Amino acid sequence: MFANVGWGEMLVLVVVGLVVLGPERLPGAIRWTATALRQARAASGIITLQTVVGHVKPTILIGASTSHGAFTREVVETMSAGTRTP
């Protein structure tokens, strides 16, 4: 999300935050922002088998999943769409 923000930009953000929020409220705001970013990154890390099959387009899918019901009809159809003989 903020992968392209360098140290110079971070320093500017901290100085602006210090001026706007003051030294009493800045640490709490930084903690709140860091927590919100961690939660957003964790939530965006949910990947389904359907998503992987759609992006990777495998030609073979071994049915050895520990997740019951992972190989749904949609997953198999998505995978077989990229092959001549499903």
Q: Does some domain include residue 56?
A: yes
The more confidently predicted of residues 2 and 70 is 70
Question: Do residues 67 and 42 make contact, with C-beta atoms less than 8 angstroms apart?
Answer: no
What's the whole-number mean pLDDT along residues 68-78?
80
45 DSSP 8-state letter: T
Is the sign of the CA dihedral 50, 53, 59, 63 positive or negative? negative
pLDDT band at 23 (very low <50, low <70, confident <90, very high): confident
Q: Does some domain include residue 26?
A: yes
Count of the separate structural domains present in the chain: 2
How many helices and strands (H and E) does the chain possess? 3, 0
Separation of alpha carbons 52 and 76, rounded Å: 12
Q: Are residues 53 and 12 in the same domain?
A: no
pLDDT (0 to 100) of residue 80: 80
Q: What is the pLDDT of residues 39-63, one digit of tens each?
A: 777 776 666 777 777 777 776 666 5
